[in-house]
Structure 1
């Protein structure tokens, strides 16, 4: 059984605007929680602030199907925002998640 405040290891994203890659149409992306090595060359602050350039570099490293840089550059901003929210959630410590979910 998953603890009530466990952090997810994956996030499924249904794209508002599908990605067309030749004959392939991508409508859903699964992002997995990045490992430290996949964060190389990026600043955590940029990722937490959902800075587009940082997300464009990270998401191809953690997406299934793997997105390319051209895919990322053509991405609908709403879809990038959904992905950025998932990435930021992966980076938050458990204590921040618990504090956000406590009743006021």
Structure 2
């Protein structure tokens, strides 16, 4: 089994604690339409900080809390998480053949 670049994962520059465990990597998953409730698509696509503080806990694994996103995640990690989140809203053709996969079997 070979690894594919994890386009939907971020290695944190400063780990956060989730359920007492130090977490160094956060994986994002494509949000379901219901997880976008109460948020503006325009704000999400503009990478509005407040919208992303609400959305990231809904799609992160292990799950981050809103407090952790707002207070514990370093700005450079937040920027990378947000940038990767926006990729979920692009069509496959716009990603130029890149896959949002964790692993590929070879």
Same fold (TM over 0.5): yes
Q: Which has the higher helix share?
A: 1
Query: How has the CA–CA distance of structure 1 residues 97 and 23 changed in structure 2, closer, same or farther, with 3 Å as cutoff?
Result: closer
Structure-1 residue corresponding to 2:89: 91
The answer for unaligned runs of 5 or more in structure 2 is: 1-6, 97-106
1:28 aligns with 2:49: no
Report deviation, 1:17. 1.6
RMSD: 1.7
Structure-2 residue corresponding to 1:61: 58
Does 74-83 or 88-97 show the bigger shift? 88-97
Structure-2 residue corresponding to 1:78: 76
Q: Per-residue CA shift, 1:27-80, capped at 9, x if unaligned?
A: 100100101000111111111111111111001111111101211112211111
- CA distance in structure 2 between the partners assigned to 1:23 and 1:38 by the alignment: 26
TM-score normalised per structure 1 = 0.76
TM-score normalised per structure 2 = 0.75
Query: How has the CA–CA distance of structure 1 residues 72 and 96 changed in structure 2, closer, same or farther, with 3 Å as cutoff?
Result: same
Aligned match for 2:37, one of 28, 35, 40: 40
Q: Which has the higher contact order (CA 8 A, sep 6+)?
A: 2
